Structure 1
Amino acid sequence: TSIHNMPMNFSQTLASQVDKQRQEIDRYISLQNERLKLALQEQRKQQLALMLKKVEEKATMLLRQKDEEIANARNRTMQLEEFTRKMEVESQAWQRQAAENEAMVVSLSNKLQQLREQARCLNSSIGMEDAESCCYGDEYPCNRENKEEEDEEETGGSSRETGERKRTTMMVCRVCNSRNACIVFLPCRHLCSCKACEAFLDSCPVCKSAKSATIEALIS
């Protein structure tokens, strides 16, 4: 009987050992699965953290670039505003200069017109004096020829010389006293120099004010 029971006991023992080994293997596999899950979760967390870090770095870099662009835009805006203010000031200065030049041109035109009228008046006065001298000679027929000569020498000659002297004195160059004055000095507006002498002058010969510019007057 004991001999017949031995195989049965052995099979039971073997079965229990197999069950025990299976249980241990199952526990080991389950433990490894848990460890693998934990490792995968940790790896996933690390990957997510790395991705978040890269995204944050890129976002920070983009924000920094945008801040720099905004700062540059502000600087350009300030520069443009400053340039605009300078242009407005310069425009106002040019407008004032243009108004002053326009007023100066009007004044010079008026002065030239006055000079032309004075020249015409001198010419007419010279003609009247010549006519009076001729009439004076006709009143004495007996001495007509002599009077004409004397009138030409005395009355006519002196009147012409007086008129020419007045005209020459008014229009002569104040430097060389020989050529006609045709240069207007600015800003004093004195017509007092010829073109040849003006090149050597730094100030007006009349009022001694510093010369800023000159204009050539074409007087007919």
Structure 2
Amino acid sequence: MLQQQMNQQFTSIFANASLLMKQKDDEIIMANIKSMELQQLLKKMEMENQELQKMAMHNELIVVSLRNTLSQIEDQENAHDICEDAGSCCQDSRSQSQSQSRDIGICRRCNSYISSVIFLPCRHLCSCYACEPFMSSCPVCNLPKKTSIPVFI
């Protein structure tokens, strides 16, 4: 009878230990699943971080370019020279002669309002805010407009 009680206790202890081990195995599986999810989320965040860094560098380059353009425009205004569309990357004789024949800051489309929009990538300041949406290319160099930036002078 003592032997039978001991066998029942061992069986009970073994069953409890087996149950606890199964619970711990389930917890380990859940922890591994959660770990994989977190690793995937970390990879996604790292990719987003890299994209944001690229965008920030691109925006910094645009800011530097615009500051240089603005500085050149201010220098030209201070010298009272005829505008040659400051900061332009397009330097052909046709656009130079056209720009010399126009006043500083007059819209190239309507010839009525002050130019207040810079075209990118050429960086010509040649359109008023009202005319810019209707222009698909720069009127100075005919380079296709990728984007434009309003300037407040």
Name the TM tier (shorter chain). Answer: 0.5 to 0.7
Query: Which of 69, 73, 78 is 1:120 aligned to?
Result: 78
DSSP-derived class of the 1:97 partner: helix
Residue 126 (structure 2) aligns with: 192
Report the CA distance shift for 1:209/1:164 in structure 2 as closer, same or farther (over 3 A).
closer
Residue 65 (structure 2) aligns with: 107
Residue 103 (structure 2) aligns with: 167
Deviations 1:23-51 (A, max 9, x none): xxxxxxxxxxxxxxxxxx2xx44433333
Residue 215 (structure 1) aligns with: 149
Q: 1:86 is aligned with what amino acid?
A: K
Report the CA distance shift for 1:115/1:124 in structure 2 as closer, same or farther (over 3 A).
closer
How far apart in 2 are the matches of 1:87 and 1:202? 39
Contact 1:182 1:216 in 2 (8 A): yes
Normalised to the residue count of structure 1, the TM-score between the two structures is: 0.50
Residue 176 (structure 1) aligns with: 110
How far is 1:165 from its partner? 5.0
Residue 43 (structure 2) aligns with: 85
How far is 1:101 from its partner? 1.2
How far apart in 2 are the matches of 1:201 and 1:53? 87
**RMSD of Structure 2 on Structure 1 (CA):** 3.0
Normalised to the residue count of structure 2, the TM-score between the two structures is: 0.67
Contact 1:119 1:167 in 2 (8 A): no
Equivalent pairs, count: 134
Q: 1:130-149 residue pairs with structure 2 within 5 A? A: none
DSSP-derived class of the 2:130 partner: helix
How far apart in 1 are the matches of 2:10 and 2:47? 55
Q: 2:144 is aligned with what amino acid?
A: K
Contact 2:119 2:145 in 1 (8 A): no
Report the CA distance shift for 1:101/1:55 in structure 2 as closer, same or farther (over 3 A).
same
Q: Which runs of 5+ in 1 are unaligned?
A: 1-40, 126-162
Greater percentage in helix: 1
How far apart in 2 are the matches of 1:76 and 1:189? 50
DSSP-derived class of the 1:218 partner: coil
Q: Which runs of 5+ in 2 are unaligned?
A: 83-98
Report the CA distance shift for 1:67/1:174 in structure 2 as closer, same or farther (over 3 A).
farther
Contact 1:182 1:191 in 2 (8 A): yes
How far apart in 2 are the matches of 1:107 and 1:67? 60
Q: 1:166 is aligned with what amino acid?
A: R
How far is 1:66 from its partner? 1.0
